[in-house]
Structure 1
Amino acid sequence: MTDNAELADRLEEFADLLEANDVEYKPRAYRRAAENVAEYPEDVADLATEGVKAVEEIDRVGEAIAAKIVEYVETGTIEELEALREELPVEMDALTSVEGVGPKTVGTLYEALGIQTLDDLEAAAEAGEIQDVSGFGAKTEQNILGGIDFAREAHERQLLGEARPRGERVREYLQDVAAVEQCELAGSLRRWKPTIGDVDALVASTEGPAVVEAFTDWDGADRVIEAGDQKASVRSGGVRIDLRVIDPSEFGAALQYFTGSKDHNVDLRNRAIDRDLKLNEYGVFDVSAVADDADDQRAGERVAGESEAGVYDALDLSWIPPELRENRGEIAAAAEGNLPELVEIDDLSGDLHVHTDWSDGNNTIEEMAAAAAERGDEYVCITDHATGPGMVGGVGLSDDELRDQRAAIEGVDEARDDITVLAGVEANISATGEVSVGDEVLETLDLVVASPHAGLDGDGTDRLIEAARHPAVDVIGHPTGRQLNRRPGLDVDVPAVAEVAAEHDTALEVNANPYRLDLEGGQVKRAIEAGATIAIDTDAHRPESFDYRRFGVHTARRGWAEDGDVLNARSADGLRAFLD
Structure 2
Amino acid sequence: MTLQDDVAARLEEMANLLEADDVEYKPNAYRRAAESIRDYQGSFDDLVAEGADAVGELDHVGDAISSKVVEYAETGEIEELAELRERYPVALDALLRVEGVGPKTVGTLYDELGVTDLEDLEAAARAAEIRELHGFGPKTEENILENIAFAKSAGERTLLGDARPLADDLVAYLSGSSPVEHVEVAGSLRRWRATIGDIDVLVGTDDGAAAIDALRDWDGTDDVIEAGTEKASVRSDGMRVDLRVVVPEEFGSALQYFTGSKAHNVALRNYAIDRGLKLNEYGAFDVRDVEDPDAGQRVGERVAGTDEASMYDALDLPLIPPEMREDRGEIPAAADDELPDLVAEDEVRGDLHTHTDRSDGAESIESMLDGAASFGHDYIAVTDHATGPGVVGGVGVPDEELLEQADEIRAAAEGFDITVFTGVEANITADGEISVDDDVLAELDVVVASPHAALDGDGTDRLVRAMEHPAVDILGHPTGRLLNQRPGLEVDAEALAEAAAREGVALEINSDPHRLDLSGGPVKVAVDAGATVAIDTDAHRTSSFGHVRFGVHTARRGWAEAADVLNTRDADGVREFLH
Both structures adopt the same fold (TM-score exceeding 0.5): yes
Find out whether 1:421 has 2:420 as its counterpart.
yes
Paired residues of 2:33 and 2:61 also in contact (CA < 8 A)? yes
* Structure 2 letter corresponding to 1:250: E
Q: Aligned partners of 2:499, 2:392: CA distance in 1, in Å?
A: 30
Alpha-carbon shift at residue 526 of structure 1 (Å) = 0.3
TM-score (norm 1): 0.97
Alpha-carbon shift at residue 531 of structure 1 (Å) = 1.5
The equivalent residue for 2:25 is 25
Paired residues of 1:412 and 1:421 also in contact (CA < 8 A)? no
Shift in CA distance, 255/40, structure 1 to aligned 2, threshold 3 Å: farther
Paired residues of 1:355 and 1:384 also in contact (CA < 8 A)? yes
Find out whether 1:126 has 2:126 as its counterpart.
yes
Paired residues of 2:220 and 2:236 also in contact (CA < 8 A)? yes
Q: Aligned partners of 1:562, 1:352: CA distance in 2, in Å?
A: 18
The equivalent residue for 1:304 is 304
The equivalent residue for 2:162 is 162
Paired residues of 2:360 and 2:393 also in contact (CA < 8 A)? no
Paired residues of 1:285 and 1:301 also in contact (CA < 8 A)? yes
Paired residues of 1:3 and 1:43 also in contact (CA < 8 A)? no
* Structure 1 letter corresponding to 2:485: R
Paired residues of 1:158 and 1:197 also in contact (CA < 8 A)? yes
User: Residues 74-473 of structure 1: matches in 2 within 5 Å?
Assistant: 74-391=74-391, 393-416=393-416, 418-473=417-472
Paired residues of 1:55 and 1:66 also in contact (CA < 8 A)? yes
Shift in CA distance, 289/484, structure 1 to aligned 2, threshold 3 Å: same
The equivalent residue for 2:503 is 504
Alpha-carbon shift at residue 293 of structure 1 (Å) = 4.5
* Structure 2 letter corresponding to 1:509: E
Shift in CA distance, 572/265, structure 1 to aligned 2, threshold 3 Å: same
Moved more, 40-49 or 430-439: 40-49
Paired residues of 2:159 and 2:513 also in contact (CA < 8 A)? yes
* Structure 2 letter corresponding to 1:203: V
* Deviation by residue 1:70-107 (Cα, 9 ceiling, x = unmatched): 33333333232222212211100001100001111111
Q: Aligned partners of 1:146, 1:487: CA distance in 2, in Å?
A: 11
Q: Aligned partners of 1:283, 1:58: CA distance in 2, in Å?
A: 54
Paired residues of 2:387 and 2:435 also in contact (CA < 8 A)? yes
Paired residues of 2:360 and 2:392 also in contact (CA < 8 A)? no
Alpha-carbon shift at residue 216 of structure 1 (Å) = 1.5
* Structure 1 letter corresponding to 2:370: A
Alpha-carbon shift at residue 446 of structure 1 (Å) = 0.7
Gaps of 5+ in 1: none
Shift in CA distance, 247/392, structure 1 to aligned 2, threshold 3 Å: closer
User: Residues 534-573 of structure 1: matches in 2 within 5 Å?
Assistant: 534-573=533-572
Shift in CA distance, 336/395, structure 1 to aligned 2, threshold 3 Å: same
* Deviation by residue 1:420-447 (Cα, 9 ceiling, x = unmatched): 1111000001111110111111111111
User: Residues 40-79 of structure 1: matches in 2 within 5 Å?
Assistant: 40-79=40-79
Q: Aligned partners of 2:50, 2:535: CA distance in 1, in Å?
A: 40
Alpha-carbon shift at residue 42 of structure 1 (Å) = 4.3
Shift in CA distance, 135/249, structure 1 to aligned 2, threshold 3 Å: same
* Structure 2 letter corresponding to 1:95: L
Q: Aligned partners of 1:80, 1:428: CA distance in 2, in Å?
A: 38
Alpha-carbon shift at residue 46 of structure 1 (Å) = 4.2
Moved more, 284-293 or 324-333: 284-293
* Deviation by residue 1:9-31 (Cα, 9 ceiling, x = unmatched): 22221111111111111211222
* Structure 2 letter corresponding to 1:523: P
* Deviation by residue 1:443-495 (Cα, 9 ceiling, x = unmatched): 11111000011111111111111111111110010011111111111111122
Alpha-carbon shift at residue 37 of structure 1 (Å) = 2.8
Moved more, 389-398 or 105-114: 389-398
Alpha-carbon shift at residue 47 of structure 1 (Å) = 3.0
Gaps of 5+ in 2: none
Paired residues of 1:513 and 1:548 also in contact (CA < 8 A)? yes
* Structure 1 letter corresponding to 2:462: R
Q: Aligned partners of 2:441, 2:136: CA distance in 1, in Å?
A: 39
The equivalent residue for 1:12 is 12
Number of aligned residue pairs: give it.
579
The equivalent residue for 1:486 is 485
Alpha-carbon shift at residue 538 of structure 1 (Å) = 0.6
Alpha-carbon shift at residue 217 of structure 1 (Å) = 2.0
* Deviation by residue 1:288-315 (Cα, 9 ceiling, x = unmatched): 2322353521122111111000111112
* Structure 1 letter corresponding to 2:520: G
Alpha-carbon shift at residue 111 of structure 1 (Å) = 1.2
Q: Aligned partners of 1:517, 1:337: CA distance in 2, in Å?
A: 29
Paired residues of 2:186 and 2:259 also in contact (CA < 8 A)? yes
Alpha-carbon shift at residue 49 of structure 1 (Å) = 3.1
Paired residues of 2:388 and 2:394 also in contact (CA < 8 A)? no
Alpha-carbon shift at residue 4 of structure 1 (Å) = 3.6
Moved more, 378-387 or 45-54: 45-54
The equivalent residue for 1:520 is 519
* Identical amino acids, percent of aligned pairs: 63
Q: Aligned partners of 2:199, 2:121: CA distance in 1, in Å?
A: 30
Q: Aligned partners of 1:322, 1:38: CA distance in 2, in Å?
A: 31
The equivalent residue for 2:474 is 475
* Structure 2 letter corresponding to 1:440: D
Alpha-carbon shift at residue 43 of structure 1 (Å) = 4.7
SS in structure 1 opposite 2:357? coil
* Structure 1 letter corresponding to 2:233: S
Give the ranges of 4+ consecutive aligned residues of structure 1 lying more than 4 Å apart after TM superposition.
none
SS in structure 2 opposite 1:415? coil
* Structure 1 letter corresponding to 2:436: V
* Deviation by residue 1:534-560 (Cα, 9 ceiling, x = unmatched): 111010111111111111111111111
Cα RMSD (Å) of the superposition?
1.5
Paired residues of 1:52 and 1:63 also in contact (CA < 8 A)? yes
Q: Aligned partners of 1:518, 1:143: CA distance in 2, in Å?
A: 22
* Structure 1 letter corresponding to 2:292: D
* Deviation by residue 1:27-76 (Cα, 9 ceiling, x = unmatched): 11222222233333345234323333443344333333333333333333
SS in structure 1 opposite 2:241? strand
Paired residues of 1:216 and 1:232 also in contact (CA < 8 A)? no
Q: Aligned partners of 1:569, 1:226: CA distance in 2, in Å?
A: 45
Q: Aligned partners of 2:172, 2:548: CA distance in 1, in Å?
A: 21
